Amino acid sequence: MNKRINFEDTLFILNVRIRMIRDLLRLDTDISVFYRQTMTDLEFINSVLDILNKQFLDNLKFLDREVEADNILDTEWQFSQIVNEISGNTGLFPSSTFPDFSITMAKLRADTLRRKKSIEESYVPSDNSIAEPVVSNAELNGLLGTI
């Protein structure tokens, strides 16, 4: 996959899908009807976040690296919240009916923690970075003719 990924649009779609899952959990539906699709959606979101994480870590020359990192981390947080919400509700998908549920949730939680850690370690937030002047004082004086 050599095509450049548009992080902003991809993250927007992922956040929409996360909200859709959250809405499904809030509605009064037979959740077992939606189990397979919900798990597929969670695994899809997880795999796309893996791709974004890899692309982010492989390209150290993003112009807006800090902004992209913050956006990815925000989506990771949203994703981890929905995973925790689903896995914390033990009556939602009982293990007697859905034996693979707890294994899938544990994998998703581990993946999101791994991605968050790798992104946080790969960049210095803009609050901590020191801005260097583009033009030194001597050059500025020379350009303005004040020397």
Q: Indicate the number of domains in the chain.
A: 1
- Does any domain span residue 31? yes
- Does any domain span residue 55? yes
Residue type at position 71: N
First to last CA, the chain: 54
- Rounded to 5°, the CA angle 23-74-20 comes to 15
3-20 pLDDT per residue, tens:
566 888 999 999 999 999
Residue type at position 1: M
What is the domain range of residue 114?
7-144
Roughly what angle, to the nearest 10 degrees, separates helices 35-58 and 7-26? 160
User: Tell me, what CATH number does 13's domain have?
Assistant: 1.20.1050
Query: H/E/C letters for each residue in 18-31?
Result: HHHHHHHHHCCCCH
87-126 pLDDT per residue, tens:
876 567 766 677 788 888 899 999 999 999 998 888 655 4
- Does any domain span residue 62? yes
Answer whether residue 135 shows pLDDT above 70.
no
